[in-house]
Amino acid sequence: MSIFILEDDVFQAQSLKRSIEEICLAQHIPYNFIEATSRYEHIINKIPSCTYLPIYFLDIEIKHEERKGLEVAQEIRKVDPHGIIVFVTTHSELASISYQYMVSALTFIEKDQPHPERMQKIAACLQHYVTKNKVEHKEDYFFVENAYTSVKVPFHTIEYIMTDDPHRLKLITTNQLIQLYGSLKELEQIDSRLIRCHKSYLVNVQQMKELDVSGQQVILMSGKQVPVSRRMMKKMKAILKDR
């Protein structure tokens, strides 16, 4: 386990390092090293030698450059797309949604939070880190990338896709509704696990639970229903059986 801290204030860096050490000791989390530095080049240079997925605690404001931390995060992402990035920041900069999108940051730790809450938050980050390192599975994403849109969702959450207004689609996942421009034909070709069960529906094989033959529909894990055209009934039966 490799832990990096980027912080230009020596006291704060040491304090954060101590907190992490305490937590690791208390929760029996083993680690290779904790590297606290104020120079980001150190971090970038050291990434290739890490045996495990690293976790980074980055101060956003380094040497009075307001968004230095973000730039560093983007640099890190170039070398390490999967490592966990946690921003450490003062209160006013909190809730930066944009950071989460730009470098897929895990979360934020506020510097001016009371000590116990801070410790809790750091512990949560480390816990997340441990679980992520244990389950070494590649995230399976569904991408739609064209001139009109960029959609990225974990594939297993997709329930179904249906047509909407002319040339618009609705992509329904377990907790999201995405309304995008495109055609079923186009999305169908992206992933073979999406089955055209009806003229205007694509369904995710992984989310199907059972076939309601008389109702001409397929029932999903969540209980939602997707219509199946008569022509496709046979094929759907076969697919469900093979699975």
Partner 1 sequence: MIFYDIAAMALIGIGHLYLFSLLIDYKKFSLGYVLVIGVLLTFFVGISITLTGLVELNVVLLSLFLVLIGLMNKKLKPLTVIYFALCSMVLFTVIKNGLFSLVRGLYIESPFNYYSWTDSALHFWTLVVLVLAMYIARKKIEQIGRYMVASRWYIPSFILAIVCTLLLLVINYPTISLLAQINALYSKQIYSIILLLSVLLMLIVTISVYMSKERLIEEHEMMLQSQLIDYVNKLELMHDDLATFRHDYMNLLLSLEEGIRTKNIEQIEQIYDNTIAPTTAIINDQQLELVKLSRVKIPEIKSVLSVKIVTAQHKQLQVSVDIPHDIRHVYIPTNDFIRMISILIDNATEEASKSTNKLIQIALFETDPETQYCVVKNSTDAEALDLQSMYNKSYSTKGEQRGYGLFSIKRLLAQHANMTLSTSLESQMFTQTVLLKMDRS
Alpha carbon distance 85, 73 (integer Å): 7
Smallest distance from partner 1 to CB 92, Å: 5
Tokens of 191: 């992933």
Alpha carbon distance 172, 157 (integer Å): 9
Alpha-carbon torsion angle 104, 116, 29, 38, nearest 10 = 60
Burial profile 91-124: b = 16 or more Cβ within 10 angstroms, e = fewer: eebeebeebeeebebbebbbbeeeeeebbebbbe
Count CA atoms within 13 Å of residue 80 on its CB side. Answer: 23
Q: Where do we find the tokens 């090293």?
A: 33
Alpha carbon distance 189, 142 (integer Å): 12
Alpha carbon distance 238, 243 (integer Å): 9
Residues contributing to the site for partner 1 (CB under 8 A): 67, 70, 91-92, 94-99, 101-102, 112, 147-151, 165-168, 170, 172, 175-181
Residue 26: CB atoms within 10 Å: 10
Count CA atoms within 13 Å of residue 13 on its CB side. Answer: 18
Q: Where do we find the tokens 């696990």?
A: 193
